[in-house]
């Protein structure tokens, strides 16, 4: 017979105690899983820390070109199902970077050969005073005296070139190591870009699920803001920089600058960083002045100043800040601060971080003001 006395019914632990113990156990398991996940993530990031810039560059390239890639998928669905379309887009992105670098390298090799011939001749006969110095509006006598004292004598030139040769070997080794390292990272970025094109839809779907589980709907909104910032930055920096390079290359050609195509490419690359294009334009203008074409050099500099002013103060703020409604000051701080902290990658990381911060700040302050108004009313 079963004992139905009250003492028998309460002999075991209370039900609320068992529920609390089970809840504490599940809570402890959840904390342990989170700690383990964080530890695994930290170990993985530490392992690939040397390739993180390459991965980030691949992600930037993919985000910047993803709208165009999705249109190509709709236009060519059969190629999108296999490897053909990802390969074609990856090859196109590779050529966009390789062709300008190839042009610069070929021009540099040709100029290096000319420079070596000029140095060898200078060792034997010295360097005569350039005729362009006589056309300068001021400082002609001072420059002429300095040139005759330091460069006109072949012995002085030989000593100067010998000192440069001893330092040039170390510089050449350092540059070669950097070129090999950057080339490896670029190749890895291209490989990353290919796999992002190939599995991009799955990656986006997984990121959305992870973002919603970790941060809720607001996490996805912040992610969209970051993507929009990268799109605007690519349009405002890269596309506008390329347009400035093409336009200034044409101006260089009309003004008679040496190697207008090469200096147009250099100006376009420099124009991707705010306020840096004027350095390239000023250098080319000085080269034109050195050829004796004073008016052409002044015209090239003035046109370049106008183009850079319009692009930096009117076009870029609209393209970069317009897509994210980011104030121009935040855009400028993101670009310059990102470039100082992260290098070229910071041109895209900086505005994206500032766009995310601006969105979080606006939502926080708007939400707080609404709650305060509700309390007051």
Judge whether residue 234 has pLDDT over 70: yes
From 269, 372, 252, select the one nearest 303 (Cα to Cα).
252
Contact (CB, 8 A) for 47 and 40: no
The sign one gets for the Cα dihedral 210, 344, 331, 93 is negative
Which is higher by pLDDT, 178 or 337?
A: 337
Tokens of 274: 């705010």
From 269, 329, 218, select the one nearest 100 (Cα to Cα).
269
Q: Is 128 helix (H, G, I), strand (E, B) or coil?
A: coil
Q: How far is CA 173 from CA 133, 162, 177, 179, 303, in A?
A: 36, 18, 6, 10, 39
Tokens of 265: 């490419």
Phi, psi of 136 (to 5 degrees): -70, 145
Q: Tell me 275's DSSP state.
A: T
Tokens of 12: 């075991």
The model scores a pTM over 0.85: no
Instruction: Give me the mean pLDDT over the 335-357 stretch.
Output: 81
Judge whether residue 366 has pLDDT over 80: no
Residue 320 and residue 177: Cα distance in Å, rounded?
35
pLDDT value at position 136? Answer: 63
Residue by residue, DSSP assigns 163-216 as: HHHHHHHHHHHHHHHHHHHHHHHHHHHHHHHHHHHHTHHHHHHHHHHHHHHHH-
User: Residue 302 — pLDDT band, cuts 50, 70, 90?
Assistant: very high
What is the Rg, in whole angstroms, of the alpha carbon atoms belonging to the chain? 31
Residue 347 and residue 127: Cα distance in Å, rounded?
42
Which is higher by pLDDT, 83 or 124?
A: 83
Average pLDDT, the chain: 76
Q: How many residues does the chain have?
A: 377
Contact (CB, 8 A) for 232 and 321: yes
Residue 168 and residue 1: Cα distance in Å, rounded?
102
Q: Which of 76-85, 91-100, 305-314, 364-373 has the lowest mean pLDDT?
A: 364-373
Judge whether residue 42 has pLDDT over 50: yes
134 Cβ neighbours under 8 A, 6+ residues apart:
140, 144
Q: How far is CA 160 from CA 123, 146, 165, 169, in A?
A: 10, 15, 9, 15
Residue 147 and residue 152: Cα distance in Å, rounded?
6
Q: What angle do CA 200, 205, 206 make, to 5 degrees?
A: 100
pLDDT value at position 2? Answer: 47
Across 109-118, 148-157, 231-240, 319-328, the highest mean pLDDT is recorded for 231-240
User: Residue 148 — pLDDT band, cuts 50, 70, 90?
Assistant: low
266 Cβ neighbours under 8 A, 6+ residues apart:
104, 245, 280
Which is higher by pLDDT, 7 or 308?
A: 308
């Amino acid at each position: 017979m079963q004992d139905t006395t009250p003492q028998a019914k309460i002999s075991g632990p209370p039900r609320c105690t068992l529920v609390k113990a089970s809840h504490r156990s599940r809570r402890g398991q959840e904390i342990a899983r989170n700690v383990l996940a964080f530890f695994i993530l930290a170990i993985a990031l530490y392992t690939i820390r040397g390739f993180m810039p390459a991965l980030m560059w691949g992600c930037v390239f993919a985000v910047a070109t993803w709208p165009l890639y999705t249109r190509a998928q709709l236009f060519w669905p059969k190629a999108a199902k296999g490897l053909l379309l990802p390969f074609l887009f990856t090859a196109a992105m590779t050529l966009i970077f390789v062709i300008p670098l190839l042009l610069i390298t070929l021009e540099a090799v040709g100029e290096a050969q000319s420079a070596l011939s000029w140095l060898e001749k200078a060792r034997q006969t010295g360097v005569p005073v350039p005729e362009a110095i006589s056309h300068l509006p001021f400082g002609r006598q001072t420059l002429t005296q300095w040139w005759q004292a330091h460069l006109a004598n072949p012995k002085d030139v030989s000593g100067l070139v010998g000192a440069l040769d001893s330092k040039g070997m170390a510089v050449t080794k350092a540059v070669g190591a950097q070129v090999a390292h950057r080339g490896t990272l670029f190749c890895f970025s291209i490989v990353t870009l290919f796999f992002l094109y190939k599995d991009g839809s799955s990656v986006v779907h997984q990121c959305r699920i992870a973002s919603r589980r970790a941060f809720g709907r607001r996490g996805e909104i912040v992610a969209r803001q970051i993507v929009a910032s990268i799109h605007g930055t690519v349009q405002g920096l890269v596309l506008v920089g390329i347009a400035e390079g093409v336009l200034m290359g044409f101006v260089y050609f009309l003004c008679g600058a040496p190697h207008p195509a090469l200096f147009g490419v250099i100006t376009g690359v420099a124009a991707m960083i705010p306020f840096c294009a004027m350095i390239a334009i000023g250098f080319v203008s000085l080269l034109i002045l050195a050829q004796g074409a004073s008016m052409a050099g002044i015209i090239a500099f003035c046109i370049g100043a106008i183009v850079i002013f319009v692009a930096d103060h009117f076009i870029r703020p609209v393209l970069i800040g317009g897509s994210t409604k980011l104030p121009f000051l935040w855009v400028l701080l993101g670009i310059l601060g990102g470039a100082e902290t992260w290098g070229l990658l910071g041109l895209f990381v900086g505005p994206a971080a500032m766009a995310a911060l601006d969105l979080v700040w606006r939502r926080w302050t708007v939400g707080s003001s609404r709650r305060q108004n509700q309390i007051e009313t």
